Amino acid sequence: MRVLFQGDSITDAGRSREDLTDLGPGYPRYAAALLRERYPQQEWTFINRGISGNRTGDLLARWQEDCIDLQPDLISILIGINDTWRAFDSNNPTSVERFEENYRRLLEETRAHTHAKILMLEPFVLHNTPDKNAWRADLDPKIQAVRRLAWQYADAYVPLDGLFAAACMEQGPLYWTADGVHPVEAGARRIAAYYADAAARLL
């Protein structure tokens, strides 16, 4: 079973570019460990191709090399927060329409050129600073777009924004993320647990 993790810095998590087997210290590492533990009889290959700073357009530009050519059995995609973030830190927004078009093309190419099961994870932001609260007007319509696409293309879906909103009732946002976006260990482990439960339904 070849599992491909795709996305931005949340998936990248500082993985080594020199060691192509390195999953980094983020949720892919913990998700892989959970799946190996639960299914020791399964032969696993885990690949992390998350790249920090990526938006949907960046994924689209490298999709042939970093998805299609790898021919995964299962691909997970967590993308979208930078499509919002760049509107606020670089005045370089991605419209909801462009975001949804880019994401749809990723999914259509995956369906057309691989036999992979598709696990989609929705982008999220935790409200631990006032500036992150302002992101909601841009991010929420993109989350709705991801959900629309999931209904059409996904074999499994993890609604991270809603799940973390609930998790913040247990522990505050800083327990899960350093800045409302990038998970600390507890947040990475929580994503991995959601991931492993969703992936298990696709085996």
92 token code pair: 């370089």
Q: Count the helices and strands in the chain (H runs, E runs).
A: 11, 5
Looking at 58, 66, 140, 182, which residue is catalytic?
A: 182
Concerning whether 182 is annotated as a catalytic residue, the answer is yes
Catalytic site includes residue 179: yes
Angle (CA) 85 86 89, round 5°: 85
**89: phi > 0 → left, psi -120 to 50 → alpha, else beta; which?**
alpha
* Annotated active-site residue in 8, 9, 83, 138: 9
C-alpha dist (Å) from residue 110 to 63, 120, 153, 167, 199: 9, 12, 10, 32, 17
Active site residue 19: no
Pairwise CA distance, residues 4 & 80, whole Å: 18
Query: Which residues on neighbouring strands pair with residue 48, listed in sequence order?
Result: 5
Please identify which of the residues 58, 66, 155, 179 carries the catalytic annotation.
Answer: 179
How would you label 78-96 residue by residue, b for 16+ Cβ within 10 Å and e otherwise?
bbbbbbbbbbeeeeeebeb
Active-site residues, by number, are: 9, 179, 182
